[in-house]
Amino acid sequence: MSTEEKVIVFDTTLRDGEQAAGTRLGVREKLELAMQLAKLGVDVIEAGFPVSSPQDFEAVQLIAQQVTGPTICGLSRAVDKDIDSAGAALKKAKKARIHTGLGISDIHIASKFKDEKYGKTLKDKKEKALDMGVKAVKRAKQYTDDVEFYCEDSGRADKEYLYRVIEAVINAGATTVNIPDTTGYSIPEQFGQLIADIFRKVPNAKKAVISVHCHDDLGMSVANTLAGVRNGARQVECTINGVGERAGNASLEETVMAMRTRKDFFGIDTKINAKELYKTSRMVSEMLGIFVPPNKAIVGANAFAHSSGIHVDGFLKNPLTYEIIRPEDVGSPKSAVVLTARTGRHGLKHRLSELGYKVSETELEQLYQRFLDVADKKTEVFDEDIAALVGDEIRAVEHIFELQYLHVACGTGTLPTASVKMKVKGKDVPVIAAACGDGPVDAAYEAIRIAAGQSPKLEHYSIKAVTGGKEALGEATVKVIDKNGVRFTGRGVSTDIIEASAKAYVDAINRMMAKE
Ligand code: KIV
Ligand code: ZN
C-alpha cells in the first residue's frame, strides 16, 4: 500500500460490539476474533473493559500477550481503579493503549454526577468532570504513552465546554481524543461541522489524533463517521457488521469500503486488508449469534446478487454496470445471478449454459414458460430445479395426452376422489374422468387410466423434493409395464406433489403410446 496518509482503524467489536443486547463472548472466542482482526489489518483492537469482570480482564490480558501487530486497547472510566486494571491487563502488550474518559454533555454530567461531592451546581459539576478527565489521563500515562480520552455524548454536548475538555486532556498527555456520538443523535453535516469546529476552536487540537465513534440510532453512524473524516478526523471507531449497543456502531466494512471505493472523493484510505472482510463478518455473526441481513452492504448474502431481468442482462454483459465493488475484493463468494420470476430469458439461458445444457431457441422458450410457473410459486429457483425442469421438458416425448386439469379431494374420514381433464393430440374434445382410490395419488392414477383408456401396470412410484424449503419442487418418478411386459419410465415435476405424480404417470403413458 502507498505511503499516502491513512485513517487509523480502531475496532471495538470486542468491547462496544459485545455490548449488543443478548451477546457474550468467551475468552477463547475473543482471542480467536482478535487474531482475525489482526489479519484484517486493523490498527487498534479495543479488547474489552478490564475492570468490568474477571473474564474481560483475562481476555484483554490474553489478547495483549498473544496478538501482535495492532495496538491493544482497554477501556476504563475516569476512575483510578479502572485505569489501574486496564494498565495491569495490558502490561504484556507490545503496543498498549488505555482508553479513558467520561460523559461531558450536560445531561450526562447532571445525571451521572448527581451527588453533591461533584459540586452543587451544573457549572461546578462540569469543572469537577474536567478535572477528573485531566487526572485520568495523567494516571493512564503512568502505564503507557498511548492514551485516548473519550468525551462521551459529544454529539449533544455544550460545544464551548467540549473544546475546553479537549484542550485540557491534550495538555495532560492524551494522544488521541475520541468524539463519540454516543446516542446516534447527530446529522452528518452537523457532525462534520463539529469536527471542523474542534480544529478551529481548540488551539492544540492538531497535537492529538481526533477520533470519531458514532452510533446508529438514526441509521447515520457510517455517514457521520465519514463526515468526521472529511473534516479532519484521522481515526474511525467501528465494529464488524455494525454490531453494538442498541442499534449498534458504525460498521467497519462499510466505513472502510466507502473510503476505498470513493478515494476520488475522500482522498484517503486505510490499511485494511479488505479480502478478509467477508470472513471476519461471518466469524462475528456466528460467534455473537447475530444474523447478517441479506441486504447488508458489503457482507450481506445479496450484496453481489442480481435478480431482475434488466440488471441480470446488464451484469452479464459487463459486471461494472451494476457492481461498484468486485466481490473478490472483500473476500465474498463470487457474484450470483439469483433466478426469480423477474430474471428474464437471458438470465435463464446463461444459467442453463453454466450448468452445461445446450438448448435450442424453441426449447428455451418451452423451458422459460415452465420456469415462470415454478418461479411464480417459489421465491428462488435453484440449479436443481432447473435440472429437473430440463429433464421434464427436453426429455419429453411428443404428448398424446396433456394433463389440463386435476382436482383431488382427500382428508381424514373422506374417500379420496380425483377428476381429470386431458387434451388428446389431434382431437378437439378433451377426455374427462373421475375416480376414487386408496389415497389421492391412487385416485388420480385411476382417473387418468379411465380418461386415457389405458391401464399399464404401475411397478414403481417415488417422489422426492428437488430443493429445500416448503415450496420446493417435487419430482415424481413412475415405472409402468405395458401388456407386452415392456417398461416405461415417466417423470413429473411440480411444486404440488400430487400434480407431479399425475404428470409422471401421464408422461409414462405417453412414452408407452409413442412406442406403440
Ligand atoms: O459510545 C460511547 O460513547 C462509548 C465510549 C465509552 C467510548 O462507547
Ligand atoms: Zn460506543
Mean pLDDT of 212-236: 98
Can you tell me the distance from the alpha carbon of 75 to that of 52, in angstroms, rounded to the nearest whole number?
A: 9
Q: Which of 215-219, 451-455, 468-472 has the highest mean pLDDT?
A: 215-219
Q: What is the pLDDT of residue 393?
A: 67
Mean pLDDT of 13-25: 89
Q: Which of 87-96, 280-289, 350-359, 502-511 has the highest mean pLDDT?
A: 87-96
Tell the residue nearest (CA) to atom 7 of ligand 1.
Answer: 150
18 lines ligand 1 (CB under 6 A): no
* pLDDT band, residue 487 (cuts 50/70/90): confident
SS3 of residue 269 by DSSP: strand
Strands (E), 333-470: 336-337, 401-409, 417-424, 431-436, 457-465
150 lines ligand 1 (CB under 6 A): yes
| β-pairing verdict for 336-337 and 147-152 | unpaired
Q: What is the pLDDT of residue 381?
A: 84
Q: What angle do CA 452, 497, 349 make, to 5 degrees?
A: 95
182 lines ligand 1 (CB under 6 A): yes
Are the beta carbons of 186 and 154 closer than 8 angstroms? Answer: no
Rounded distance from Cα 101 to ligand 1 centre (Å): 9
Alpha helix stretches (DSSP H) within 113-239? 122-140, 159-172, 188-201, 221-230
Tell the residue nearest (CA) to atom 5 of ligand 1.
Answer: 152
Q: What angle do CA 92, 97, 100 make, to 5 degrees?
A: 130
Ligand 1 binding pocket mutation candidate from 176, 213, 221, 236 (most atoms within 8 A of CB): 213
Span 130-179, pLDDT tens digits: 999 999 999 999 999 999 999 999 999 999 999 999 999 999 999 999 99
144 lines ligand 1 (CB under 6 A): no
Rounded distance from Cα 300 to ligand 1 centre (Å): 26
Rounded distance from Cα 182 to ligand 1 centre (Å): 6
82 lines ligand 1 (CB under 6 A): no
Q: What is the pLDDT of residue 3?
A: 57
The atom of ligand 1 lying closest to the CA of 178 is: 7
Task: Flag the least confident range among 85-99, 307-321, 381-395.
Answer: 381-395
Q: What is the pLDDT of residue 394?
A: 63
Ligand 1 binding pocket mutation candidate from 152, 181, 246 (most atoms within 8 A of CB): 152
The atom of ligand 1 lying closest to the CA of 215 is: 1
- Name every residue whose Cβ is closer than 8 Å to that of residue 241 and which is 6 or more positions away in sequence: 251, 253, 281, 284, 285, 290, 292, 296, 299
41 lines ligand 1 (CB under 6 A): no
For residues 494 and 392, the model is more confident at 494
* CA end-to-end span of the chain: 74
423, pLDDT greater than 80? yes
Which residues is 148 bridged to in the sheet? 99, 176
Q: What is the pLDDT of residue 464?
A: 80
Among all ligands shown, which has an atom nearest to the Cα of 101?
1
Mean pLDDT of 207-225: 98
Span 249-275, pLDDT tens digits: 999 999 999 999 999 999 999 999 999
The atom of ligand 1 lying closest to the CA of 99 is: 7
* CA-closest candidate to residue 492, choices 413, 393, 421, 409: 393
Rounded distance from Cα 268 to ligand 1 centre (Å): 25
Grid cell, residue 205, equals 487540537
- Name every residue whose Cβ is closer than 8 Å to that of residue 196 and which is 6 or more positions away in sequence: 231, 232
Q: What is the pLDDT of residue 469?
A: 67
Mean pLDDT of 70-78: 98
Rounded distance from Cα 242 to ligand 1 centre (Å): 14
Can you tell me the distance from the alpha carbon of 375 to that of 452, in angstroms, rounded to the nearest whole number?
A: 30
395, pLDDT greater than 60? no
- Name every residue whose Cβ is closer than 8 Å to that of residue 109 and which is 6 or more positions away in sequence: 103, 122, 125, 126, 129
